[in-house]
A = this chain, B = another copy of it.
Amino acid sequence: MALTTESVADAAMRILSDFGLGDLTMRRLARELNVQPSALYWHVADKQSLFVLLAARMGAEADDLDRPAPGQGRLASTVDAITTYRGVLLRYRESADIVLLAYSHSGPTVLPSALSDLDADTRDFVIPYVLGSIAILQNRRLFAGEPLAPRTTGGGSDGHAEASFRTGLTRLLTG
């Protein structure tokens, strides 16, 4: 049952999706793993670099989910892939705050390829839009306070919010 960087990140992902960012503390994480808080620092430099790990995982998760529909233009499949990413982030409570930090710190490597493959100029206004939209949505949910929420974990669409997201995204991508 030895600790690894992976097992630490796994536990962190679970805490994040089940309880949120407020409960994702190094001490809580250690408790969950039945070790002393100080043990974590052997496997991870500090909390910030744990965030980078988590962000990269969510990016990879979106890449895995994303098999582009055939007979689709470049624009449409990019919009779809980014929307898939949005769906992934929405499953991890305040993930957008984490990704925002991690991206500011480590650059596009923490993002899914749908975003990191864009040319640098496009990235500079698409990424803020994507992360900003999700962050606001997630913080709104946080304040709405769902103590035992009807978490729509099902793959269903998001309704108006998702449609609006796609509209803005399309405007930014069609310069």
Q: Which residues of A contact B (CB under 8 A)?
A: 100-101, 103-105, 121, 124-125, 127-133, 135-136, 139-140, 142-143, 161, 164-165, 167-168, 171-172, 174-175
The secondary structure that dominates the A interface is helix
CA distance A140 to B100 in the complex (A): 10
Q: Residue on B with the closest CB to A175?
A: B171
- Set B101, B125, B167: member contacting A168, Cβ < 8 A: B125
CA distance A2 to B136 in the complex (A): 37
B133–A125 CB distance below 8 A: yes
CA distance A124 to B125 in the complex (A): 16
Tell me, rounded to whole Å, the shortest Cβ–Cβ distance linking A14 to chain B. Answer: 25
A105 / chain B contacts, CB cutoff of 8 Å: 139, 143
Copies of this chain, count = 2
Provide a sorted-by-A list of 18 A–B residue pairs whose CB atoms are within 8 angstroms: A100-B135, A100-B136, A100-B139, A103-B136, A104-B139, A104-B142, A124-B161, A124-B164, A125-B168, A127-B132, A127-B136, A128-B129, A128-B133, A129-B129, A130-B132, A135-B135, A167-B175, A168-B172
A168 / chain B contacts, CB cutoff of 8 Å: 124-125, 128-129, 172
CA distance A161 to B123 in the complex (A): 12
A167–B132 CB distance below 8 A: no
Additional 7 contacts, C-beta under 8 A, given A101-B139, A103-B136, A125-B133:
A100-B136, A104-B136, A124-B168, A128-B136, A129-B168, A132-B132, A171-B171
A131 / chain B contacts, CB cutoff of 8 Å: 132, 136
Q: Residue on B with the closest CB to A174?
A: B171
